[in-house]
Structure formats: structure tokens, C-alpha cells
Amino acid sequence: MKPTSITSCEEAIRVLAEHLDHELGGRLEAELNAHLETCRSCCSRAEFERELKARIRGLGAEPLDQDVAGRVQALLRSFADTPTP
Amino acid sequence: MCDPMSMATEAVRSSAQHAWFSDEVQSLLPKLYGAAVKLCRDRTNAEDLVAEALTRAWAKLPTLADRGTFQGWLFRILTNVYISQYRAARVRPEEEYLGVDAENFSIFERIHQPILLWWGNPEQEFFDGLLRSDLQAALDSLPEPYRSAVVLVDVYELSYRDAGAALDVPVGTVRSRLSRGRALMQKHLWQYAGPGHGPAQGKGERE
């Protein structure tokens, strides 16, 4: 599935997600970086996917309402009476 | 263990352990609850999920070898509880067939212009019109098992390895679920937040 060497845009796109996830590494990572430096289209795509990924990451913070915080605090207090084995 | 001295030591250790556990949990709570809401898509169920995960974590605390790994460990427990309840609900996570179109869908390919345009930048316009609620809706629209892979890796930045451990699947499965999940999300975003839904209609008119 994964190319062993990056010689085309198609192969670059195939490993782009792993590159953006910091999961590629090794020779493919170096080859992809070299490709991105010379290919405007793939470079634009990398920027686009990186930005989209950053926006999705922004969904992480969930406003915590008082009920949840209170319930968790009560739960944690109850653990004091039940020591771990 | 029955002499009073060692029992007293045990009690002190437990109380220090309890204080440490409570502090850690309080500081991780927004993240933990956020992950639970993303997984359950429902605040009430998310609350129950967090409570169940914390109860299990407290019981299993002695098995945590390295406190530096507490966050990953706690996330793993949360995900495990979610998955076991999910399986109990008999909704089997399946690698359903989504069609070639959904697997490869790319917004970039639809909007990118190979030549530079003097009158605008379609990619930037897409992001300018993209709202948090659009992204949330796209994430919520994902079926399992794709949603949990995207939540763990894209929202909570787990490595493929950690996500695989949390979901109890090999790294290759994480990779393929992510790939499909992201393509499906893009397809959803294209349908509901693509050109024609963007700033031209006025952001203020949308929630």
C-alpha cells in the first residue's frame, strides 16, 4: 500500500496524512519533505490538511458545566473511603 | 499486614495516593469530559462514562507503574469502558463499505486551482466560512469505528500506537479508520459548509 519511494504527487498524497500526524519518519519523511519543497500543488494540499487538522483539534476543549464538576468531586471524595486494594 | 503499624502506614499511603489521584483527575477533567462527549455525542451519557472510567481507574491505580503515563492510562480506561458499553449495546463496530467516493473524498481537490488566482484564495475562503459548529456536526456524523479513531488522534493527539492500544486494534487498523473517517468528515463538511454555505451568505445568519 505505502510507496517505498516518493516519485509522484500521487505517492506523496498517500503518505501525507502520516506525515502530518508525525507518524511517517525515516526515508519517506525526507523524500516527502523534498517533494513538498518543489511541488506547489502538494505543498498547498499539505497546508490545507494541516489547517483542517488544527481546526478539528480545536474541538477538544468542552465547556465543563458545574453539574459535571460537582459530580466528579463528590465521586473523588467517596474514593477516600474505599482505598485501592 | 495486620499489625497496627503497617496498617497505619498503608492508610497514610492511601491518603497521599488519593490526594494525588484527585488532583490529577481535576486537572485532566475538561479533556476527559471533552473526549467522553465526543465519543458519546451526548452529555448525560458522557457524564456516566467519565464516572465509570474514574471508578475503574481508582480501583486499578496500583497497576499503574509509572505516574508519568497517567493521562494515557486514564484515556485508555475511558475508551475501554466506552467500547465495552458500545459492544454491550450490540451495535457492532464494523468496517462498513462506504464506497470509493467516500473513502477518497477531498475538499482540497474540489476547490484548489492549479494556477494562482488574483481575485482570491478558495482554500482560505473555505476556512473563513468554516464554523466550529460545522466541524462538530461533521465529527458527530461519523459512524463508529471511525469517530473514535478521529477523536483520539485528531482531537486528542494520541499517537497511532496509543490510539491502537486504547481501541485494542493494530496500528494499521487505526491508520485505515482515520483515513476513512477523515474522508467522510470532509464529505460532510463539503455538503454542509462548502462553497454556497460560506461567508457569502453572511456568518451572522448561521448559528
The domain that holds B146 is classified in CATH as: 1.10.10.10
Whether residue B202 lies within 8 A of chain A, CB to CB, comes out as no
Domain that holds residue B188: 99-205
Long-range contacts of A2-10 (CB under 8 A, 24+ apart): A2/A28, A3/A28, A5/A31, A6/A31, A6/A32, A6/A34, A6/A35, A9/A35, A9/A39, A9/A41, A9/A42
- Domain spans in chain A, listed from the N-terminal domain onward: 9-79
**Structural domain total, chain B:** 2
Residue B79 to chain A, least CA–CA distance (Å): 15
Residue B138 to chain A, least CA–CA distance (Å): 10
pLDDT in tens, chain B (207 residues): 455 556 566 666 688 889 999 999 999 998 899 999 988 888 889 999 999 999 999 999 999 988 888 988 898 899 989 988 866 664 444 545 555 556 688 999 988 877 766 677 888 889 998 999 999 999 999 998 899 999 999 998 889 998 898 888 999 999 999 999 999 999 999 988 777 664 444 444 443
Best to test chain B binding among A41, A51, A72 (most B CBs inside 10 Å): A72
Task: Tell me: do B142 and B106 sit in the same domain.
Answer: yes
Amino acid making up residue B93? P
**Residue A29: is it exposed, middle or buried by C-beta count within 10 angstroms (0-12/13-18/19+)?**
middle
**Residue B195: is it exposed, middle or buried by C-beta count within 10 angstroms (0-12/13-18/19+)?**
middle
Task: Tell me: do B110 and B180 sit in the same domain.
Answer: yes
- For cell 451519557, name the residue: B45
Q: Which of B34, B62, B88 is the last residue of a domain?
A: B88
